[in-house]
Amino acid sequence: MIREFGTTAAGEAVQSVTLRAGRLRATILTLGAILQDLRLEGVAHGLTLGSDKVADYQGQMRHHGSLVGPVANRIGGATAVVAGQMCQFDPNQQGRHTLHSGAAGSQFKLWQVVEAAADRLVLRLDLPDGEGGFPGNRTITALWEALPPATLRLTLTTTSDAETLVNLTNHSYWNLDGSPTWAGHSLRIAAAEVTEVDADLIPTGRLLPVEGTALDLRAGRVITPGDPSMDTNFCLSDAPQPLRDVLWLTGQNGLTMTLATTEPGVQVYDNRKPGRPGQEAWEGLAIEPQHWPDAPNQPGFPSITLGAGEVRVQAMEWRFG
């Protein structure tokens, strides 16, 4: 179902599209391809943090639920070499690094509805050569699918007419209890290592084993704010893989979410700073399946380079029970 959701500050119309299958209902916005709401039959609250106001998504909630690209996460020094040329990006983090592609991010743009059905939505975004410093005329398609009994799948396909960088992710925040914070949720992540970062959260190039640390979540355990502290890339593999289960989140109410992805990493951010207007810190966990941060400047990391004429497919799936 397609509805008018609101208008941007520039007066552009934003639509919402609701998908249904089995026990699941998901609402996606044409602004930023945002997952605005996700509901399960028989559960009184939404499972992802959203808003009913466009202004919130253009302000404090600019990354909530959005499809972040062309390069999610951080690029150290706001520069990288692409096809032998040094590229300069928007230094929107501390005036010296690039976070989530800066002002050119796909999360700020209106996507075109290509196809909409009861359980399926295809959105398209065209990014021009040089925007934000990223080369290539690029096309991104986002296929959202609702699958019974309670699964939401997102498949992202990117092409470019020149060598470029691509690392897309969904940036939804999750709270399965509908509570003021995520405290008491249980989290399990199939990762034996994380990327070491400096004081600016830029990777050093080293991988750190999680064994013996608070970030060892391989067996799953109850987490609380600060235990562990997370704005962290968990290393799932050293290259993309076929879609596989990598993360399990369980609320105190017994609701579960299983995340599957093709990506070699998943960034988890603990929402230590308040995200939604009028709400407190720690309200939801941002869980972002993606490639490792600063990959263009780290030769040992899985590459996010996309060659001219090549196709990059990234997939992720959320299953609820």
Q: What is the count of structural domains for the chain?
A: 1
Domain carrying residue 96:
2-320
Which CATH number do you get for residue 284?
A: 2.70.98.10
pLDDT number for residue 42: 95
- Residues with Cβ within 8 Å of 82's Cβ and at least 6 positions away in sequence, in order, are 134, 135, 163, 164, 165, 296, 305
- Overall average pLDDT of the 295-319 stretch: 98
pTM attached to this predicted model: 0.97
- Tell which residue, 288, 311, 241, has the closest CA to residue 48: 288
pLDDT tens, position by position, 228-282: 999 999 999 999 999 999 999 999 999 999 999 999 999 999 999 998 999 999 9
pLDDT tens, position by position, 55-80: 999 999 999 999 999 999 999 999 99
CB contact burial 50-84 (16+ within 10 A = b; e otherwise): bbeebebbbebbbbbbbbbbbbbbbbbbbbbebee
Asked whether residue 24 carries a pLDDT value surpassing 90, the answer given is yes
pLDDT tens, position by position, 147-175: 999 999 999 999 999 999 999 999 999 99
Q: Cα separation of 266 and 234, whole Å?
A: 5
Q: Cα separation of 181 and 95, whole Å?
A: 31
Q: Could you give the percent of the chain with pLDDT greater than 90?
A: 99
Q: In Å, how far from its chain's centre is CA 108?
A: 14
Lookup: tokens for 256: 């579960």
Residue 109, SS3? coil
Asked whether residue 1 carries a pLDDT value surpassing 90, the answer given is no
Q: Return mean pLDDT, the chain.
A: 98
Parallel, antiparallel or unpaired: strands 24-29 and 13-21: antiparallel
